[in-house]
């Protein structure tokens, strides 16, 4: 009997250092490679549909074109479908008489449940997963997942002291030189959803990821990363690995290998360690998502604590449109809306502003980031928003950033704000009283939005 494989690309859009793809390719005679573009469905019905921005769709388009280029070099092609993932995958399994299905280990709630549904529905099919997006396997953690520390600091200490795989002992990359052919003539074609999109600021794909990785570590930026990581803009102030990691055009193991090589050649310091530190934050939130599942999207978070916030449509609309009383907030939102990316410090500032100054339900901000970020990662995004709102992995009960202090520290000469300021024709609200009536509730104009 001919073994026909189906590989489901998710957050692992690369051919190299892809263990799940490698293992499937060695088990089947023919292979179909599939990427499914579908609306993200949150557990909470209130956020059941999110619409991607043009910048986000443009970045995804370049990522998929890059993946197609990598597959074509090995005699394969990428099938891209737009629609309900569960239905599309089920159709492929039935139509092509698939015998083997493989994917990266699912991290998020919906993906995990879809995978379990596929396994129970198609019990005759061999399902395989491998770790393509995290540093560690569950068996390498120094604790059971149910005992995941409640704070990142505790997690980091456990990992650095007791993890079964040291950072300097990263698994060697397993190169992929061959893939089985598709079972029939197939042709790469993007769905209409993506055809006319473009991101002129950032480009995805495996080749671009490797080029960026080499360029970053060929510079001396890593040796000063801790001093620049909180900046809002600049040359090499950020590693900019996050978009590639989020789509899986780059693996965390590939970053660690490059980091280790850099340290061997140039020496290690607090800054090079901080790159690993940031990767550990990402790692923590991936395990956090797997443990807490649907609680990642709940108003009360994992702490069952109700924040003192509500939903004010006009305030939220002003925040989304960069039309608040604060020029720095407006500038950050404008960069996000145009390019799909802003600095880590910028994200914390505008998240704190939405939750603490505008007193808007944090989930609306998280859902908006889901629509806009080219490096959107379900675990990191919703985990970080819970952290800011005080309902997640923060023993201090949330983070409140003083906007004027942030301006003095990170944009003292106003250069960033001028670069990303609203157009002169865009009106800017002057105070929060404009958003509400005398009782503090949204005014009539607000309620009509």
Pick from 22, 30, 25, 24: which is nearest to 1 by CA?
Answer: 30
Q: What is the pLDDT of residue 448?
A: 28
- Cβ neighbors of 73 (< 8 A, separation 6 or more) are 15
Q: Which helix (H) or strand (E) holds 132?
A: none
Cα separation values, 268 from 54, 157, 210, Å: 40, 19, 22
Pick from 35, 43, 7: which is nearest to 370 by CA?
Answer: 43
Provide the residue count of the chain: 449
For 276-286, write each residue's pLDDT tens digit: 999 999 999 99
Tell me what the pLDDT averaged over the chain comes to.
90
Check the annotation: does 99 bind a ligand.
Answer: no
Q: What is the pLDDT of residue 1?
A: 77
Q: What is the pLDDT of residue 441?
A: 40
Check the annotation: does 352 bind a ligand.
Answer: no
Check the annotation: does 241 bind a ligand.
Answer: yes
* Higher-scoring residue by pLDDT: 363, 428: 363
Q: What is the pLDDT of residue 434?
A: 54
User: Which region among 39-43, 74-78, 218-222, 399-403 has the lowest average model confidence (pLDDT)?
Assistant: 39-43
Quote the CA–CA distance of 241 and 260 in Å, as a whole number. 16
Quote the CA–CA distance of 251 and 85 in Å, as a whole number. 23
- Specify the residue for token string 């600049």: 234
User: Which region among 126-135, 252-261, 380-389, 427-436 has the lowest average model confidence (pLDDT)?
Assistant: 427-436
- Cβ neighbors of 338 (< 8 A, separation 6 or more) are 55, 201
Does the pLDDT value for residue 436 go beyond 90? no
Q: What is the pLDDT of residue 168?
A: 63
Euclidean distance between the first and the last CA atom of the chain, given in angstroms as a whole number: 60
Average pLDDT in the 399-428 region?
Answer: 85
Burial of 299 (0-12, 13-18, 19+ CB in 10 A): middle
Quote the CA–CA distance of 267 and 226 in Å, as a whole number. 15
* Whole-prediction pTM: 0.91
Check the annotation: does 127 bind a ligand.
Answer: no
Residue 23: helix, strand or coil by DSSP? Answer: helix
Q: What is the pLDDT of residue 167?
A: 67
- Cβ neighbors of 397 (< 8 A, separation 6 or more) are 390
Quote the CA–CA distance of 307 and 356 in Å, as a whole number. 10
Q: What is the pLDDT of residue 52?
A: 86
**Which structural domains are found in the chain, ordered by start?**
134-170+206-291 (1.25.40.80), 313-447 (1.10.579.10)
Q: What is the pLDDT of residue 3?
A: 97
Check the annotation: does 7 bind a ligand.
Answer: no
Check the annotation: does 377 bind a ligand.
Answer: yes
Check the annotation: does 240 bind a ligand.
Answer: yes
Strand 4-9: give its sheet, edge to edge.
78-82, 30-37, 4-9, 100-104, 126-130
Cα separation values, 236 from 111, 212, 299, 402, 448, Å: 34, 11, 36, 26, 44
Cα separation values, 37 from 8, 89, 203, Å: 11, 11, 18
Quote the CA–CA distance of 218 and 360 in Å, as a whole number. 43
- Specify the residue for token string 């394969």: 76
Does the pLDDT value for residue 424 go beyond 70? no
- Which stretches of 326-443 are DSSP H helices? 327-339, 344-352, 362-372, 378-389, 403-410, 415-419
DSSP string, 271-315: HHHHHHHHHHHHHHHHHHHHHHGGGGG-TTTTTT---S-B--HHH
- Cβ neighbors of 215 (< 8 A, separation 6 or more) are none
Q: What is the pLDDT of residue 403?
A: 95
Check the annotation: does 242 bind a ligand.
Answer: yes
Q: What is the pLDDT of residue 169?
A: 65
Confidence of residue 50 (pLDDT cuts 50, 70, 90): low
Residue 129: helix, strand or coil by DSSP? Answer: strand
- Specify the residue for token string 């529905």: 121
Number of other CB atoms surrounding residue 344 within 10 Å: 16
Classify the C-alpha dihedral 407-411-412-418 as positive or negative. negative
User: Which region among 40-49, 189-198, 225-234 has the lowest average model confidence (pLDDT)?
Assistant: 40-49
Name the CA radius of gyration of the chain, rounded. 22
């Amino acid at each position: 009997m001919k073994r026909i494989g189906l590989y489901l690309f998710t957050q692992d859009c690369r051919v190299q250092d892809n263990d799940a793809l490698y293992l499937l390719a060695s088990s089947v005679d023919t292979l179909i490679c599939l990427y499914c573009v579908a609306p993200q469905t949150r557990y909470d019905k209130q956020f059941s549909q999110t619409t991607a921005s043009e910048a986000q769709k443009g970045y995804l388009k370049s990522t998929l074109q890059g993946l197609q280029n990598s597959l074509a070099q090995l005699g394969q092609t990428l099938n891209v479908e737009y629609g309900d993932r569960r239905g599309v995958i089920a159709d492929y399994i039935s139509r092509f008489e698939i015998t083997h299905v493989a994917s990266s280990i699912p991290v998020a709630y919906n993906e995990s449940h879809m995978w379990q549904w596929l396994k129970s529905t198609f019990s005759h099919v061999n399902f395989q997963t491998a770790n393509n997006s995290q540093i560690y396997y569950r068996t390498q953690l120094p604790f059971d997942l149910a005992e995941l520390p409640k704070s990142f600091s505790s997690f980091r200490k456990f990992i650095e002291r007791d993890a079964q795989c040291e950072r300097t002992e990263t698994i060697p990359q397993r190169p992929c030189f061959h893939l089985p052919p598709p079972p029939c003539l197939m042709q790469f074609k993007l769905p209409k959803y993506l055809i006319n999109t473009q991101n002129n600021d950032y480009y995805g794909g495996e080749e671009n990821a490797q080029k960026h990785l080499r360029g970053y570590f060929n510079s001396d930026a890593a040796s000063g990363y801790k001093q620049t990581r909180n900046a809002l803009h600049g040359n090499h102030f950020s590693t900019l690995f996050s978009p590639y990691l989020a789509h899986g055009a780059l693996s965390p193991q590939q970053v660690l290998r490059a980091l280790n090589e850099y340290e061997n050649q140039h020496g290690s310091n607090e800054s090079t360690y901080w790159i690993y530190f940031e990767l550990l934050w990402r790692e923590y939130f991936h395990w956090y998502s797997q443990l807490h599942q649907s609680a990642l999207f709940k108003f009360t978070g994992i702490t069952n604590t109700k924040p003192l916030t509500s939903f004010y449509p006009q305030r939220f609309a002003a925040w989304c449109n960069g039309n608040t009383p604060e020029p720095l907030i407006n500038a950050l939102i404008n960069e996000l809306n145009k390019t799909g990316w802003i600095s880590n410090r910028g994200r914390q500032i505008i998240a704190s502003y939405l939750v603490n100054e505008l007193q808007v339900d944090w989930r609306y901000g998280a859902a908006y980031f889901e629509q806009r970020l080219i490096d959107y990662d379900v675990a990191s995004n919703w985990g970080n928003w819970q952290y800011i709102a005080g309902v997640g992995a923060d023993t201090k009960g949330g983070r409140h950033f003083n906007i004027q202090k942030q301006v003095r520290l990170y944009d003292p000469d106003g250069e960033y704000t001028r670069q990303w300021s609203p157009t002169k024709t865009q009106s800017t609200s002057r105070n929060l009283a404009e958003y509400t009536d005398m009782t503090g509730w949204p005014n009539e104009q607000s309620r009509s939005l």
